[in-house]
Amino acid sequence: MAEPIIKLENIWKVYQLGEIELTVLKGINLEIYPGTFMTIMGPSGSGKSTLMHIIGCLDTPTKGEILLEGKNVSNFSEDKLAQIRGQKIGFVFQQFNLLHNLNALENVMLPMVFQGVPEKERIERAKELLSSLKNSYCPGFI
Protein backbone atom coordinates (compact mmCIF):
# COMPACT_ATOMS: atom_id res chain seq x y z
CA MET A 1 0.00 0.00 0.00
CA ALA A 2 1.16 3.56 -0.70
CA GLU A 3 2.42 5.82 2.06
CA PRO A 4 0.00 8.49 3.30
CA ILE A 5 0.53 11.87 1.69
CA ILE A 6 -0.67 13.51 4.92
CA LYS A 7 -0.46 11.95 8.35
CA LEU A 8 -1.52 13.53 11.63
CA GLU A 9 -0.25 11.95 14.82
CA ASN A 10 -1.83 12.87 18.18
CA ILE A 11 -2.70 16.43 17.09
CA TRP A 12 -3.86 18.82 19.79
CA LYS A 13 -4.76 22.49 19.37
CA VAL A 14 -5.23 24.58 22.49
CA TYR A 15 -5.92 28.31 22.38
CA GLN A 16 -4.99 30.46 25.36
CA LEU A 17 -7.71 33.04 26.00
CA GLY A 18 -6.35 35.03 28.93
CA GLU A 19 -6.41 32.61 31.85
CA ILE A 20 -8.70 30.20 30.01
CA GLU A 21 -7.43 27.34 27.85
CA LEU A 22 -9.75 26.33 25.03
CA THR A 23 -8.93 22.85 23.70
CA VAL A 24 -10.26 22.58 20.14
CA LEU A 25 -8.55 19.39 18.92
CA LYS A 26 -7.73 16.44 21.18
CA GLY A 27 -5.45 13.65 19.99
CA ILE A 28 -6.43 13.60 16.31
CA ASN A 29 -4.89 10.79 14.23
CA LEU A 30 -5.53 10.82 10.51
CA GLU A 31 -3.98 9.38 7.36
CA ILE A 32 -4.79 10.65 3.88
CA TYR A 33 -3.57 8.58 0.94
CA PRO A 34 -2.90 9.78 -2.62
CA GLY A 35 -6.00 9.73 -4.81
CA THR A 36 -8.47 9.58 -1.94
CA PHE A 37 -11.45 11.85 -1.44
CA MET A 38 -12.29 12.85 2.14
CA THR A 39 -14.99 14.83 3.85
CA ILE A 40 -14.66 16.40 7.27
CA MET A 41 -18.08 16.87 8.83
CA GLY A 42 -19.32 17.98 12.22
CA PRO A 43 -21.40 20.56 14.01
CA SER A 44 -20.43 24.20 14.21
CA GLY A 45 -17.58 24.70 16.66
CA SER A 46 -16.36 21.10 16.52
CA GLY A 47 -12.89 21.99 15.15
CA LYS A 48 -13.33 21.34 11.41
CA SER A 49 -11.77 24.64 10.34
CA THR A 50 -8.95 24.33 12.86
CA LEU A 51 -8.21 20.83 11.57
CA MET A 52 -8.23 22.05 7.95
CA HIS A 53 -5.87 24.91 8.84
CA ILE A 54 -3.48 22.44 10.44
CA ILE A 55 -3.69 19.99 7.51
CA GLY A 56 -3.10 22.89 5.10
CA CYS A 57 -0.09 24.21 7.05
CA LEU A 58 -1.93 27.47 7.74
CA ASP A 59 -1.65 26.83 11.49
CA THR A 60 0.53 24.69 13.73
CA PRO A 61 -0.59 22.24 16.40
CA THR A 62 -0.02 22.79 20.10
CA LYS A 63 1.09 19.16 20.32
CA GLY A 64 1.56 16.30 17.86
CA GLU A 65 3.14 15.81 14.46
CA ILE A 66 2.09 16.62 10.91
CA LEU A 67 3.79 14.50 8.28
CA LEU A 68 3.59 15.69 4.69
CA GLU A 69 4.99 13.18 2.21
CA GLY A 70 6.83 11.59 5.16
CA LYS A 71 8.44 14.84 6.38
CA ASN A 72 7.56 16.21 9.80
CA VAL A 73 6.47 19.81 9.11
CA SER A 74 5.06 20.45 12.62
CA ASN A 75 7.84 22.80 13.66
CA PHE A 76 8.74 24.39 10.32
CA SER A 77 9.19 28.15 10.18
CA GLU A 78 6.42 30.30 8.70
CA ASP A 79 8.59 30.88 5.61
CA LYS A 80 9.06 27.14 5.07
CA LEU A 81 5.33 26.50 5.62
CA ALA A 82 4.50 29.22 3.08
CA GLN A 83 6.81 27.51 0.59
CA ILE A 84 5.08 24.16 1.19
CA ARG A 85 1.64 25.77 0.77
CA GLY A 86 2.76 27.30 -2.51
CA GLN A 87 4.14 24.05 -3.89
CA LYS A 88 2.16 21.20 -2.33
CA ILE A 89 -1.21 22.32 -0.96
CA GLY A 90 -4.27 23.89 -2.55
CA PHE A 91 -7.44 25.12 -0.91
CA VAL A 92 -10.89 25.88 -2.22
CA PHE A 93 -12.45 28.16 0.38
CA GLN A 94 -16.18 28.60 1.00
CA GLN A 95 -15.76 32.32 0.44
CA PHE A 96 -14.03 33.57 -2.67
CA ASN A 97 -10.96 35.02 -0.87
CA LEU A 98 -10.06 37.07 -3.94
CA LEU A 99 -8.05 40.26 -3.70
CA HIS A 100 -10.43 43.02 -4.75
CA ASN A 101 -7.70 45.24 -6.17
CA LEU A 102 -6.68 42.50 -8.65
CA ASN A 103 -8.63 41.32 -11.68
CA ALA A 104 -9.49 37.63 -12.23
CA LEU A 105 -6.35 36.90 -14.24
CA GLU A 106 -4.12 38.51 -11.59
CA ASN A 107 -5.88 36.62 -8.77
CA VAL A 108 -5.30 33.30 -10.58
CA MET A 109 -1.66 34.21 -11.28
CA LEU A 110 -0.88 35.23 -7.68
CA PRO A 111 -0.09 31.79 -6.21
CA MET A 112 2.30 31.13 -9.10
CA VAL A 113 4.28 34.24 -8.12
CA PHE A 114 5.06 32.57 -4.79
CA GLN A 115 5.98 29.36 -6.60
CA GLY A 116 8.55 31.23 -8.70
CA VAL A 117 6.81 30.58 -12.03
CA PRO A 118 8.08 33.00 -14.71
CA GLU A 119 5.61 35.75 -15.67
CA LYS A 120 5.02 34.58 -19.24
CA GLU A 121 4.18 31.07 -18.04
CA ARG A 122 1.96 32.47 -15.24
CA ILE A 123 -0.08 34.43 -17.77
CA GLU A 124 -0.46 31.44 -20.11
CA ARG A 125 -1.44 29.02 -17.34
CA ALA A 126 -3.87 31.49 -15.75
CA LYS A 127 -5.57 32.12 -19.08
CA GLU A 128 -5.88 28.36 -19.66
CA LEU A 129 -7.39 27.85 -16.20
CA LEU A 130 -9.89 30.68 -16.61
CA SER A 131 -10.81 29.46 -20.07
CA SER A 132 -11.42 25.94 -18.78
CA LEU A 133 -13.65 27.32 -16.02
CA LYS A 134 -15.57 29.47 -18.46
CA ASN A 135 -16.13 26.47 -20.75
CA SER A 136 -17.11 24.20 -17.84
CA TYR A 137 -19.53 26.53 -16.11
CA CYS A 138 -20.79 28.69 -18.95
CA PRO A 139 -21.18 26.50 -22.02
CA GLY A 140 -21.87 28.58 -25.06
CA PHE A 141 -20.61 31.75 -23.36
CA ILE A 142 -18.45 33.87 -25.61
- Kindly report, residue by residue over 2-51, the tens digit of the pLDDT: 899 999 999 999 999 889 999 999 999 999 999 888 889 999 989 999 99
Query: Given this model, what pLDDT does residue 135 score?
Result: 67
What are the tens digits of pLDDT across the range 52-73?
A: 999 998 889 999 999 999 999 9
- Looking at the structure, tell me whether residues 98 and 81 fall in a common domain: no
Residue 111 forms part of a structural domain:
yes
Which domain range does residue 102 map to?
A: 93-142
Say yes or no: 26 and 69 in one domain. yes
Q: Tally the domains of the chain.
A: 2
pTM of the predicted model as reported, rounded to 2 decimal places: 0.70
Residues 10 and 53 in one domain: yes
Instruction: Give a yes or no: residue 11 inside a domain.
Output: yes
Q: From residue 32, how far is each of 7, 27, 68, 72 by CA, in Å? A: 6, 16, 10, 15
